[in-house]
Chain A
């Protein structure tokens, strides 16, 4: 069974640009969540999508957005990038009764 796939693995962007990250969940998993991981703040919840609807949202500015497609694949978008957005962005998928399975993440560097 394939795991959670995140693309790209690494990304370098300039301040002010926008970026889109992609996540393909485990087959059959309808829930996809996104987390930001930084050395200072640790793992912080961004949002969760289920059947193309956002069910939960963390405390991040509106520059962070996401969406989920009918095949459960999800994308996360960050607009007007700031230096502080440099982080490892993790996607996790889950069935209705199971725990999370995380992908290996996308390492975003903003310069």
Chain B
């Protein structure tokens, strides 16, 4: 019940296209859903996060869509750029503060020029 399932494992998108990564969770007590971006040799960096009281949150080219009834959330990267090539992790926790994050397995995104 603590798992967060992420798909796909890897994704190749053409420059300018839309990248979509999906996550599903089981624990209905989760109320904070962040996405992290990780480049090789670096730690994960917070990209965008959402709470279950909203269905969508947009920050620049990055959008989180959240479906509470389906217990699913997804990351959309519009106008994908080669610089977006990285590994993306979804996560979930109870509370936004210093709470234990349960991470998805990650998606390696490659944007072809």
The reply to whether A100 and B104 form a contact with Cβ atoms under 8 Å apart is no
The reply to whether B44 and A43 form a contact with Cβ atoms under 8 Å apart is yes
From A31, A35, A105, give the contact of B98 (CB < 8 A): A31
> How extensive is the interface on chain B, given as a class?
20 to 34
Bound CA span A25–B78, Å:
33
B-side interface mostly: loop
CB A54 to nearest CB in B, in angstroms, measures 12
Given A48-B98, A48-B100, A56-B99, are A99 and B49 also a contact pair (CB < 8 Å)?
yes
Given A99-B49, A103-B43, A104-B43, are A43 and B103 also a contact pair (CB < 8 Å)?
yes
Which one of A55, A102, A104 has the highest number of Cβ atoms from chain B below 10 Å of its Cβ?
A102
In the assembled complex, A62 has its CB within 8 A of some CB on chain B: no
> How extensive is the interface on chain A, given as a class?
20 to 34
CB A48 to nearest CB in B, in angstroms, measures 6
Q: Which 5 A-B pairs have the closest CB atoms?
A: A31-B98, A102-B43, A94-B98, A43-B103, A42-B105
Q: A42-B105, A90-B43, A105-B42 given. 17 additional CB < 8 A pairs?
A: A31-B98, A33-B98, A33-B101, A43-B91, A43-B103, A45-B100, A45-B101, A55-B98, A95-B98, A98-B96, A98-B97, A100-B34, A100-B101, A102-B44, A102-B45, A103-B43, A104-B43
